[in-house]
Structure 1
Amino acid sequence: MSIDLTPYRREGRLDGRCLCGSVTMTIDGAYVAAVGACHCAMCRRWAGTVFAGFNARPEGVTISGEVAVYPSSDFAERAFCPRCGSHLWFRDTRDGADYEFAPGAFAEAKAFPLISEIYIDRVPAYARLAGDHATATRADYEARSPFVEGDDP
C-alpha cells in the first residue's frame, strides 16, 4: 500500500484541544490533510473502536497542558489528557517521527478524507468504513513494517 501524499500535504496552522480544553495542540508547519485508520487489536482497545489519525511534523507542533503518555510498545507511545481522557496522539518514538493526531481534536480535520485503512481483516462488524481508499491486511502491513510484533486475534 503505497500512497502518494503530495495532494494532501499542507503548511499552515491548525489548533486542537482535548474534550475539557486543558490540553491544547497547535500545528504550525507541515501536516497531511488526510486520515488513516487502523483496526489492530491495540488501536481498538485504545480507541474503543477504529483508531484514525493524521500526521504532522514534530518541528511544527506545540503542546500545552498536562499530558499523560503511555508507552504502548517498544517503538510507540499513545498520549491522552489525564483530566478528561481524550486521546491526543499516537507517535512512533524512533527519531524524528511524525505525530499521528486524533482528528476529532481538530475542528478543521472534519474535512480531511479517509485515504488508508490497515488491518482490514480485523475490522469488527460495527466499524466497517466505506469509500475508495487504500487498504492493507494484517499480513500486508506487518510485511512492510518489520518492527511491528504482530496483532493478537
Structure 2
Amino acid sequence: MSASAKIAGRCLCGEVTVSVDGKHDAQPGACHCRMCQRWSGGAFLAFTAAAEAVTVEGPVRHFRSSPFAERAFCGTCGTHLWMRNTDDQAAEYDLMPGLFDAAHDWPLRSEIYSDKAMAAIRLKGDHPRKTEAEFEASNPHIN
C-alpha cells in the first residue's frame, strides 16, 4: 500500500522532526536479524520513503552499522530514526513508524529473518515472511 499524503513525525524529545512529502510505503516491514534485535530491543519495524520526499531537522547522529548501511538517532534523546543504504545517496529511507502518528493503523507488510524472531515477539498475520536463508539468498550484499 503506497501513499503520497504529507506526514510528519518527531523523536521522543521533539528536537528532531521528520516529514515525508511524497511517495512512501504505508505498511511497515519487520526484521528479526540479530543486529536489528540489538538496535531495537526486539523487532525492527520500518517503512520506506523516497529520499527526495524526506526532510529532517534537528540534531541527528549517524552510526555506520554495516559496510552498506547507517542507522540514525536523535543526538539529544537517542530515539531511533532510520536505517539507510550508504552506498546510494538516492537510497530510500527505512523510517521508524513510531515517529509518525499517521502510522498507527498501518498493517504489517512483511517480515524477514522470521526464523530468528524472539519468542516474545512472534508476529501474527497473513503477511509474507522470509527466513534468514531465504532473505540472504536473494540479497547477497548482506553477507
Query: Which whole-Å CA distance do the structure 2 matches of 1:117 and 1:42 have between them?
Result: 15
When the two structures are superposed, what TM-score results if normalisation uses the length of structure 2? 0.97
Q: Match of 2:130?
A: 136
Q: Match of 1:88?
A: 81
Query: Which whole-Å CA distance do the structure 2 matches of 1:73 and 1:92 have between them?
Result: 9
**C-alpha displacement of 1:68:** 0.5
When the two structures are superposed, what TM-score results if normalisation uses the length of structure 1? 0.91
Within-5 A mapping of 1:2-151: 8-95=1-88, 96-149=90-143
**C-alpha displacement of 1:133:** 0.3
**C-alpha displacement of 1:36:** 0.2
**C-alpha displacement of 1:106:** 0.4
**C-alpha displacement of 1:93:** 1.5
Equivalent position SS for 1:114: coil
**C-alpha displacement of 1:94:** 2.3
Moved over 2 A (4+): none
Query: Which whole-Å CA distance do the structure 1 matches of 2:109 and 2:56 have between them?
Result: 26
**C-alpha displacement of 1:142:** 0.2
Q: Which deviates more from structure 2 when the two are superposed, residues 60-69 or residues 92-101?
A: 92-101
Please provide the CA RMSD for this pair.
0.7
Query: Which whole-Å CA distance do the structure 2 matches of 1:140 and 1:77 have between them?
Result: 23
Deviations 1:106-142 (A, max 9, x none): 0001111101000011011011101110000000000
Query: Which whole-Å CA distance do the structure 1 matches of 2:78 and 2:37 have between them?
Result: 16
**C-alpha displacement of 1:12:** 2.0
- How high is the sequence identity, in percent, across the aligned residues? 49
Query: Which whole-Å CA distance do the structure 2 matches of 1:66 and 1:77 have between them?
Result: 16
Equivalent position SS for 2:12: coil
